[in-house]
Amino acid sequence: MTPVRTALAEAAVRLSAAGVDSPRTDAELLLAHVLGVPRGALLVADDLDEASAHAYEVLLARRERREPLQHLTGTAPFRHRELEVGPGVFVPRPETESLVDWALERLHDVDVAAPVVVDLGTGSGAIAGAVAAEHPGARVHAVELSEDAYGWARRNLDGLGVDLRRGDLADAFADLDGTVDLVLSNPPYIPLVAWESVTPEVRDHDPEAALFSGEDGLDAMRAVAATAARLLRAGGWVAAEHAEVQAESAPAVFVASEAFDRVDDRPDLAGRPRFVVARRRAR
């Protein structure tokens, strides 16, 4: 039998040596997953028996190899929901929650009973699911090109009434042209030249199509801008996430288009530039 405190201390040392950013937190979350208890319950958990210790060792070894924590537990928290994630889908990050905060505030200002929202490149369904769950009156539509990611999104959006389609965000939802109140997106935005700087958890496990987007990282952003210009009604809004270093170049994509005004950049909760917003001009 191994005391929980001992197992956690040893695991944290190993994960720290492997370069994991949050070794103690990851050690606790993995052990809570193995024991099937909330993380806080580890304080009063019984000593590990042989089976639990072995299961924990297997997961620790995988985490030492920098396999994402969320792939090991099979879930990722996003706002008020736990999403199913795994190989083939981009793991949602807490930073994206700031975009959803802005979107929900914007929806409260829309003077229609059932605002139309589109999520371009939904991935796991994180954004679309959050909006549908937290603003039940909205008519939410989402599109995803990857077959693997589409499967994860379908599971995560089940029962929320989201219109999920498989296809390219560049030509999606022609039937909604000019009728959408809000377009949201977390597109790929990492420049190809930045490949080596990406952490192993992301570079080696998130799908490349969800990460990289041309030499400057803005190819998908340009597609989002073009699609949003087509979908939005006059006065409708678009919000799209970008990298911190794109605080000027991402908004410039929308400024360059005659379709938008009131282009602005918004920070995440840590105060870092995180997403661009723009309003559709009158046609």
75 is in an annotated binding site: no
| Ligand-binding site membership of 186 (annotated) | yes
86 is in an annotated binding site: no
What are the distances in angstroms from CA 208 to CA 87, 133, 167, 214, 239?
Answer: 12, 29, 17, 11, 22
CB within 8 Å of 110: residues ≥ 6 apart: 181, 182
Task: Tell me if 156 is assigned to a ligand binding site.
Answer: no
Q: Is 267 annotated as a binding residue?
A: no
Residue with tokens 């005004």: 261
Q: Is 122 annotated as a binding residue?
A: yes
Sheet of 180-185: strand order equals 163-166, 139-144, 116-120, 180-185, 232-241, 273-280, 260-267
257 vs 46: CA distance, rounded Å: 61
User: 189 labelled as ligand-binding?
Assistant: yes
144 annotated to bind ligand: yes
Please state whether beta strands 116-120 and 180-185 pair in parallel, antiparallel, or not at all (unpaired): parallel
> Residues forming the annotated binding site for substrate?
186-189
- Return binding residues for S-adenosyl-L-methionine: 121-125, 144, 186
**Binding site residues, as ranges?**
121-125, 144, 186-189
